[in-house]
Amino acid sequence: MRTINSGWLFAKGVQPDSAAFTPVCIPHTWNTDAYTDKKYYRGTAWYQKTLTLSEQWKDKQIFLRFEAVSQVADIYINGQLAGQHKGGYTAFTIDITPFCSFSIPNLLTIRVDNAQDNVPPISGDFTFFGGIYRDIWLITVPKQHFCLNNNGSDGIFISTPHVSESEGTLFIKGSLRNDATTQTELEIINTLYAPDGSIIQRLHRTVKIAPGEDYTFKESPKPVSNPQLWSPETPHLYRVETTLLNRKNRQQLDCVSHHIGFRWYHFDGENGFSLNGKPYKLNGICRHQDQKPFGVALSDEMHRRDILLMKEMGVNFIRISHYPQDPAILEQCDKQGILAWEEIPIIDIVPESEEYANTCEQNLREMIRQHYNHPAIITWGYMNEILLVTQRQYKTQEEQKPVLERTLALAHRLEKVLKEEDPYRNSTIAFHGSNHYNTVGLGNITDIIGWNLYQGWYGGELKSFDLFLEEQHRQYPSHPIIVSEYGAGSDRRLHSFEPKCFDFSIEYQQKYLEHYLPVITDTPYICGGTHWNFIDFSAALRDEATPRINNKGLVYSNRTPKDVFYYYKAMFRKDIPVLHIASRDWTHRAGILQKGATRVTQPVKVYTNLPEVELFLNGQSLGKKQCENCTASFNVPFREGKQLLLAKSKNIEDAIEVYFSPVPAQLTKDNINGIELAVNVGSNCFYTSDESQLTWVPDQPYTPGSWGYITHDTAKRENNREESTQTEITLTGDNPLYQTARSRLEGYQFDVPNGIYELELLFADIFQTSEKIPYLLGSGQGGTISLGNAFHILINGQQVEEACCPSSESGTFRAIKKRFIVPAKENKINIQLKTINGKNFLNGIKLRKL
């Protein structure tokens, strides 16, 4: 068995065009365009390679195994179709022997298509990257071999039906095949190895197998007494080696090896999860499989690295979402000790298609057979939020009826298949926060209910999370519950001391998770939770602060941990001390310096699992704090420039450098030089540009001597409001800065010493008004044109721009910057936006003395 990942040529297009082919290596995806374009390429593409087969393989059976091709693959050898596979996340094996030549090179052509609406997933909040993005293997075996024609599996299935502290039973089922033209006598040897490598048992059996026949054997080895149990804390792996010999000449024909583990577990509606007889909280996380800028074309070591990072964080459970993943993931889960839920991608809605349902069943069988032997896996899943789009798309009961019927039918069908394939593991399904699932009957099908809950993110209050679960438990006390998703987005450039739902500040994500995690941890009936998501992942259709990236990760796309990663680590790790100053996501700080003050005091949080922590600023103690919920918060008096924060507890320390830029509350001739006063108008957030590192401070109301938006007139004050959008603002690298605005402003004012200033106004029309008025911008066209929000701009009473209309100047949701050189008069700069259509607005403002 060897990889054939190199020497491939690739071209997009409906027909293979030899001119367009470029060299690539596998793993490969053609969809790195998903990082820049909502309409990433979904269509057909071709891979080609010449494959020279050694003469010595003439008497062998030749197979290709693809670990995954997204979404549909047609495999051609020397122009002949050798096989097809549907589904972008499961492996498949194709016997190419009849198509091969051993004298001349073979041409391997693979047609790949990622524009299918009949193959799961048809919908979902992630990019459907196309390509051959996992390894390809060339397998050559003698004519007598273990079956490779069984749903991408290797033909050997090992289960551990009964496990206790005193005894572990195992059961081995396997099939072999004779592709020769004569009958052969074979010997099958199963050897069981202990975790230390010593042999525990060896079982032999002989079999006569006719040409062209399959033979299935079953072995029930003697139970292992006092097995070393597998658990996340003790991932002891036994090993079963299954060998095939030619009875006559004792030649080895085939050999496969599997790690197995002895563990037992139980999901309970009242008492939560238990592992090996003890209550056990599933401290989990969901994982998507991509990494910017590589898409899903990750090497095995990148996959393994993710599991190691999770392990470092203290994770003992993973929801492999929303689809089966690389074999490297499962192997690493077994070895590192991470329990797993794996699922197939049936998401949002079940389309009306028998072919779709068949492919779902097929993919479910493939997943189970391919990953059956992994002790890490405890549950299989098959649907995610399947009523979400159903409910949105079909409003009336009548319209919903047929969709619900086929959804239920598919769920029942898959549940049956799942139990048939694997009677030893549990079944799971993930719902979104609606009781509808129960009322339509989906709640009674699987063993476990997963709830994807976002109270305090997509709507509602944080507290509603607790209440929802309480209510579910009250109504359905026998349903074992996993919080299968919860999370909030964050953007490292946004920070707030008054974090708000959906502001994408680092601080709101922390607040949200600091609420959710203790509820999961402290509620006995909740089996556990799987945070959404481990990584910031590719979701090409998303806008928000970081377009095309879903930013709910605990680590960034490049796997650098966010500070909140250490909250989890502090909560999950009991075996080591954890201490982390939670400000690595905010090292370039700014803040308002009050008149007469030399320092700006701001809170800094420390995440730790120790009871007490002391914080030092530039060597000076700021005192000790008791920790609660693994956090301690200190008020830190920052001065200008670089300074050192050091946290200490017991024998452990953590230190970071912070760069601080004070912004004077009152601008005077003594402090104004060198100040670049930048305000994130309409926002509670500090915004630091990645491009310039300049920090835009949160907006504030004007007070005499200072600066801010004006609300003298109480009637107008009610109209003046903060506005925001989740739509991407283009033509800027500072998208989030423009996504918030203040509208219906009375004015903006800076009280500053007289002199010459550079004033910059930032606009993006995020309102998409369709009002039509007769006022003509430019002129000459006649008739009415659609005119967006428009206003005259006045500075210190002087009109500097007539009828400024950002949406007609640049288009809606596009960034505009206007810079003016203006004098301050009577110690002030006053800006007025006099509305002539719709409403006035301002997204950002910046002032600098020349």
**Sign for the pseudo-dihedral over CA of 550, 551, 552, 553:** positive
By a kind-dependent CB cut-off of 5 to 8 A, residue 485 interacts, out of Ca ion, ligand GCB, none, with ligand GCB
Q: Which is nearer to Ca ion, 326 or 348 (CB)?
A: 326
Nearer to ligand GCB, 163 or 549 (CB): 549
Judged by CB, which is closer to Ca ion: 91, or 282? 91
Q: Which does 135 bind (CB under 5 to 8 A by kind): ligand GCB, Ca ion, none?
A: Ca ion
> What six digits make up the tokens of 595?
């008149």
Nearer to Ca ion, 300 or 614 (CB): 300
β-sheet bridge partners, residue 621: 616
Among 95, 113, 125, 135, contact with Ca ion (rule: CB under 5 A): 135
As measured in angstroms, the least distance from the Cβ of 312 to ligand GCB is 24
DSSP 638-695: E-SEEEEEEEEETTEEEEEEEEEEEEESS--TTT-TT-EEEEETT-SSEEE-TTT-PE
Q: Pick between residue 453 and residue 665 the one whose CB is nearest to ligand GCB.
A: 453
Stretch of residues binding Ca ion (CB under 5 A), selected from 166-174, 325-333, 642-650, 731-739: 325-333
- Footprint (CB under 5 A) of Ca ion, residues 182-221: none
The residue with its CB nearest to Ca ion is 135
What are the Cα distances from residue 599, in Å, to 640, 659, 663?
A: 8, 13, 11
- Classify 465 as helix, strand or coil: helix
Q: Return the axis-axis angle of helices 506-522 and 563-572, rounded to nearest 10°.
A: 10
Closest CB 328 distance from Ca ion, rounded Å: 5
> In whole angstroms, how close is the CB of 752 to ligand GCB at the nearest point?
44
Q: Which is closer to ligand GCB, CB of 123 or CB of 700?
A: 123
Indicate the pairing of strand 526-531 with strand 282-287: parallel
| Strand order across the beta sheet in which 22-24 lies | 22-24, 8-12, 44-51, 106-113, 72-77, 80-86
Rank residues 310 and 488 by Cβ distance to Ca ion and give the closer one: 310
For the CB of residue 458, give the shortest distance to ligand GCB in the complex, in Å.
7
Q: How far is the CB of 552 from ligand GCB (least distance, A)?
A: 5
CB of 361 to Ca ion, least distance (A): 25
Residue 348's binding partner among ligand GCB, Ca ion, none (Cβ under 5 to 8 angstroms by kind) is none
Min dist. Cβ of residue 355 to Ca ion (A) = 28
Nearer to ligand GCB, 201 or 464 (CB): 464
- Whether residue 322 is preceded by a cis peptide bond, meaning omega within 30 degrees of 0, is yes
Nearest to 213 by CA among 173, 156, 252, 175: 175
Residue 452 interacting entry, from Ca ion, ligand GCB, none, C-beta within 5 to 8 Å by type: ligand GCB
Please identify, using beta-carbon distances, which residue of 459 and 477 lies nearer to ligand GCB.
459
As a whole number of Å, the CA-based R_g of the chain is 31
Q: Which one of Ca ion, ligand GCB, none interacts with residue 385, CB within 5 to 8 A by kind?
A: ligand GCB
Q: How far is the CB of 294 from Ca ion (least distance, A)?
A: 13
**Whose CA is closest to 371, among 85, 141, 90?**
90
Handedness of CA 406, 408, 410, 412 (dihedral sign): negative
Q: How far is the CB of 271 from ligand GCB (least distance, A)?
A: 27
Pick the stretch among 5-13, 134-142, 490-498, 741-749 that binds Ca ion (CB under 5 A): 134-142
Query: Minimum distance between the CB of residue 476 and ligand GCB, rounded to whole angstroms?
Result: 20
Q: State the binding partner of 300 from Ca ion, ligand GCB, none, CB within 5 to 8 A by kind.
A: Ca ion
In sequence order, the β-bridge partners of residue 409 are none
Distance separating alpha carbons of residues 695 and 680, to the nearest angstrom:
9
CB 767 within 8 A of CB 791: no
Residues that bind ligand GCB (CB under 6 A): 124-125, 384-385, 432, 452, 485, 532, 550, 552
Q: Cβ contacts of residue 703 below 8 Å, gap of 6+?
A: none
| Neighbouring-strand partners of residue 828 | 825
Q: Which does 231 bind (CB under 5 to 8 A by kind): Ca ion, ligand GCB, none?
A: none
Taking residue 524's Cβ as centre, other Cβ atoms within 10 Å add up to: 11
Applying CB under 5 A, among 113, 154, 254, 326 the residue interacting with Ca ion is 326
Local structure of 41: helix, strand or coil: coil
Summarize as ranges the residues that interact with Ca ion (CB under 5 A). Answer: 134-135, 300, 326, 328
